[in-house]
Amino acid sequence: MPPHAPGRVTLTNAVVELTPLTADDARDLFAALDDARVWAAGYGGGPAGRPGDVAGMRDYVTGHLLGFPDRVSWAVRRRSGELVGTSSLGDVDLSNESAHLGWTAYAPAVWGTAVNPAAKLAILTHAFEECGLGRVQLQTDVLNTRSQAAIARLGAVREGVLRRHRRRADGTFRDTVVFSILAEEWAGVRAGLERRIEHVSLRP
C-alpha cells in the first residue's frame, strides 16, 4: 500500500492504551515525569529543560510535542487509565517511507515493566502495518546508556553516532546514537516484543 502519515488515533493492546496527547494532559504528565531521573540523561534537552510546574509542562507539551505538523504524540496510559508517559512519531518523510519514533519518557515506576515494549509494539504496528512505512528511526543522547540498551533490546540496528548533533537545554551539544528498524525486519521485532510483554507480564 502507498505509505501515509501516522494519524492521531488511539492505539491499544493488552498492556497500554495510547491516546493522542493534548495540552489538557499536562497535569498528569507532569506528575508522571516530575523526577530528576527522567531528565538526567538528555530527555527534553536534559536537566535544564525539566519543567518546574504544571504550567511549564503545558508549555513543553504545546511547544515541543504538539508544535510540529508532521509529529503525532501520544499519552501512554496503563489500561487502568493512569498516564505514565509519552511517545511520538515524527520527522515523517513519505517520499522515503520513513519516520522517527522518539520523544519518549516514562515515570520511573514503570521502568523495566511491560509498558515500554507494549507502547513500542503499538506504535510500530501503526507505523509498519497501518501506515506502510519502510523505515523507523530511533535515537538517543550518547549519555543515555539506559535508553540505548532499551532500543537495542527492541531489535533495532545501531547505525552510528551523529556528532555535535543537537543543542541541549543547558547550551552544550549532544552526540546522538541512531538506530533503525526496517519493514523487512518488523516481523522479527514484533515477535520479540510480544514475547517480552508476555514474559514481563507473568512476573510475580
* CA distances from residue 120 to 67, 108, 114, 173 in whole angstroms, order as listed: 22, 17, 10, 27
Tens-digit pLDDT profile for residues 103-114: 999 999 999 899
Angle between helices 115-125 and 186-201 (to 10 degrees): 150
Give CA–CA dist 140/150, Å, rounded: 10
pTM confidence score: 0.93
Question: What topology does CATH give the domain 11-201?
Answer: Aminopeptidase (3.40.630)
pLDDT for 203 equals 47
What's the mean pLDDT in 93-98? Answer: 97
Residue 201: per-residue pLDDT: 52
Report the C-alpha gap between 157 and 153 in whole angstroms. 10
pLDDT tens by residue, 163-186: 999 999 999 999 999 999 999 999
Task: Tell me the per-residue pLDDT of 61-70, one tens digit each, with 9 for 90 and over.
Answer: 999 999 999 9
Residue listed under C-alpha cell 517511507: 97
pLDDT digits over 117-162, tens only?
999 999 999 999 999 999 999 999 999 998 999 999 999 999 999 9
Do 89 and 103 form a contact (C-beta atoms < 8 A)?
A: no
pLDDT of 204 reads: 36
Please determine, for residue 87, whether its predicted confidence score (pLDDT) is greater than 70. yes
d(CA 44, CA 97): 26
- Say if CB 9 and CB 20 are below 8 A apart: yes
Q: What mean pLDDT, rounded, does the chain reach?
A: 94
Please compute the mean of the pLDDT values over residues 6-29 and round it to a whole number.
97
